[in-house]
C-alpha cells in the first residue's frame, strides 16, 4: 500500500501539479500535514519521501500540529504567484476565517488538498489510494466525450436497477469538467477528483422516478441502504416510498422547512472515477461521490447556475444522493451500463 501511495503522490506532484516545470519550479512548494489518522500518515509520509528527492526546489514541510496558526497563515499569505501548497488533513485545517484553498486560488497559488481522511475506514484506505492513481489522459478523453454528448442532447434517461426511469428533456446547461488538469489558476481542487456536471435548462422537464441507494447522513458520512424510490415531478420531489430511511426523510423535511416547502432536483453529476464503486466504498461523501456513474443534488442553491433562481429566494442546501443506476442514455445513445461508461 505504501508503494502505491508513493507512486500516486509522485504523479500528483510531477504530472498534475507539475512542480518540476516552469514557472512552478521557480517558486516555493509547501506541504502541510497531520498524522491524526492512519490515511493521513500514509499520504503525508509518501509526499515527504517524494519531496525530499527534489533537492533543487524550495520545499518546506510543516506539521500542522507543531506550528503556530498565525505563523502558518502569514507564510501562506506571503507566497508568490505560482507557488504550490499541498494539504493532507484528517479533517479540515482551520485558520479562523481563512479558507486556505479558496484564498490561495484567488492569488494564483496552486493548492491541492486531501481532507476528511479520518472518515475513511481502515479497510477503505487502499480504495482511496487507488482512487488518486494518475489516469488523467484517460479521464480527459472520457470527460470530453461526455461533454460533447451532453451539450448536444435533448434527453437524459436514468434507468434504475428496479427499472424505474427518470427522464429529463429539452436541453442541458453547458457541461462543466474537472479531470485533474492543473494549469495556471486551475491548480486547485480536492482529491480524489474526476467529474462532469450539468443541469436541465427547464425544470418542468424533469419527471418520473428514480431509485436511491445511498445518501449522506447528518455527519456527511455515506449511509448505504436498501434502494428506495423518489418520485420527481417538474424537478420537485413529490413522493418517497414507504421504505425510505427515517433519517433521510428528516433531511428531506429539513429542506422543505427551509426552502419554501419545496425540494428541488438540480445538479446532475457524472463522476468518472472507476476505482470507486459499490464494492470499493469510501465513507466520506466528498470522496465517495467521485464514484463512476450518476448522482444528483437536492437543493435550490447553486454556485454555477445561480441565475436560475432569484437571489431573494431562500437557497440553503446541497444534498448529494446516489442512484441505484443500471443504465444511462443521452437521447437514444447508451453511455453507461455495468458500472462503467461505454463511450
| 27-31, 49-53, 255-259: the lowest-pLDDT one | 255-259
Same domain, 118 and 142: no
Q: Quote the number of domains for the chain.
A: 2
Read off the pLDDT of each residue in 216-235 and give the average, rounded to a whole number.
Answer: 92
Same domain, 165 and 248: yes
Coil vs helix vs strand at 10? helix
pLDDT for residue 6 is more than 60 = yes
pLDDT for residue 17 is more than 70 = yes
pLDDT per residue as tens digits for the range 253-291: 988 888 788 898 988 989 888 888 899 999 998 888 888
Domain final residue, candidates 98, 131, 164: 131
Same domain, 238 and 102: no
Confidence of residue 182 (pLDDT cuts 50, 70, 90): low
Please count the other Cβ atoms lying within 10 Å of the Cβ belonging to residue 88.
29
Same domain, 156 and 281: yes
Percent of the chain whose pLDDT exceeds 90: 64
Q: Give the span between the Cα atoms of 81 and 282, in whole angstroms.
A: 34
Read off the pLDDT of each residue in 75-99 and give the average, rounded to a whole number.
Answer: 88
Read off the pLDDT of each residue in 311-324 and give the average, rounded to a whole number.
Answer: 75
CB 107 within 8 A of CB 184: no
Phi then psi for residue 111, to 5 deg, are: -145, 115
pLDDT per residue as tens digits for the range 123-157: 999 999 999 999 888 888 999 999 999 999 999 99
Residue 96 belongs to domain with CATH number: 3.40.50
Q: Which domain holds residue 51?
A: 2-131
pTM: 0.90
Strands 195-198 and 265-271: antiparallel
Q: Which of 46, 52, 40 is nearest to 93 (CA)?
A: 40
Q: Is 200 left (phi over 0), alpha (psi -120 to 50) or beta?
A: beta
Instruction: Determine the pLDDT at residue 94.
Output: 79
Read off the pLDDT of each residue in 227-236 and give the average, rounded to a whole number.
Answer: 96
Same domain, 246 and 325: yes
Same domain, 126 and 211: no
Average pLDDT of the chain, as a whole number: 89
Same domain, 90 and 222: no
Domain final residue, candidates 96, 113, 131: 131
Domain final residue, candidates 131, 147, 162: 131
| All three cell numbers of 211 | 431509485
| 8-22, 96-110, 125-139, 188-202: the lowest-pLDDT one | 96-110
Same domain, 27 and 176: no
Q: Which of 167, 159, 133 is nearest to 6 (CA)?
A: 133
Instruction: Determine the pLDDT at residue 302.
Output: 60
Instruction: Determine the pLDDT at residue 202.
Output: 92
pLDDT per residue as tens digits for the range 263-272: 989 889 898 8
CB 146 within 8 A of CB 179: no
Read off the pLDDT of each residue in 103-114 and give the average, rounded to a whole number.
Answer: 86
pLDDT for residue 180 is more than 60 = no
Amino acid at each position: 500500500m505504501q508503494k502505491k501511495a508513493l507512486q500516486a503522490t509522485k504523479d500528483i506532484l510531477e504530472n498534475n501539479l507539475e512542480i518540476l516545470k516552469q514557472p512552478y519550479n521557480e517558486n516555493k512548494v509547501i506541504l502541510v500535514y497531520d498524522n491524526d489518522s492512519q490515511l493521513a500518515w500514509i499520504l503525508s509520509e509518501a509526499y515527504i519521501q517524494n519531496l525530499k528527492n527534489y533537492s533543487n526546489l524550495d520545499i518546506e514541510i510543516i506539521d500542522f500540529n507543531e506550528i503556530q496558526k498565525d505563523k502558518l497563515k502569514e507564510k501562506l499569505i506571503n507566497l508568490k504567484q505560482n507557488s504550490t501548497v499541498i494539504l493532507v488533513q484528517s479533517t479540515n485545517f482551520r485558520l479562523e476565517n481563512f479558507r486556505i484553498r479558496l484564498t490561495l486560488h484567488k492569488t494564483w497559488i496552486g493548492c491541492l488538498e486531501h481532507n476528511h481522511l479520518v472518515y475513511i475506514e481502515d479497510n477503505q484506505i487502499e480504495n482511496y489510494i487507488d482512487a488518486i492513481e494518475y489516469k488523467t489522459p484517460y479521464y480527459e478523453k472520457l470527460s470530453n466525450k461526455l461533454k460533447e454528448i451532453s451539450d448536444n442532447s435533448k434527453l437524459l434517461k436514468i434507468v434504475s436497477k428496479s427499472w424505474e426511469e427518470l427522464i429529463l428533456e429539452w436541453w442541458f446547461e453547458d457541461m462543466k469538467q474537472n479531470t485533474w488538469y492543473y494549469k495556471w489558476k486551475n491548480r486547485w481542487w480536492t482529491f480524489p477528483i474526476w467529474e462532469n456536471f450539468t443541469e436541465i435548462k427547464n425544470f418542468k422537464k424533469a419527471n418520473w422516478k428514480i431509485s436511491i441507494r445511498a445518501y449522506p447522513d447528518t455527519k456527511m458520512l455515506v449511509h448505504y441502504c436498501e434502494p428506495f424510490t423518489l418520485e420527481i415531478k417538474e424537478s420537485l420531489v413529490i413522493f418517497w416510498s414507504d421504505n425510505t430511511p427515517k433519517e433521510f426523510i428528516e433531511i428531506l423535511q429539513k429542506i422543505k422547512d427551509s426552502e419554501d416547502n419545496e425540494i428541488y432536483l438540480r445538479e446532475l453529476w457524472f463522476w468518472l472515477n472507476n476505482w470507486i464503486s459499490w464494492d470499493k466504498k469510501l465513507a466520506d461523501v466528498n470522496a465517495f461521490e467521485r464514484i463512476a456513474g450518476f448522482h444528483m443534488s437536492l437543493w435550490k442553491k447553486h454556485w454555477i447556475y445561480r441565475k436560475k433562481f432569484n437571489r431573494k429566494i431562500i437557497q440553503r442546501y446541497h444534498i448529494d444522493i446516489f442512484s441505484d443506476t443500471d443504465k444511462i442514455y443521452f437521447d437514444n445513445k447508451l453511455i453507461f451500463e455495468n458500472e462503467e461508461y461505454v463511450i
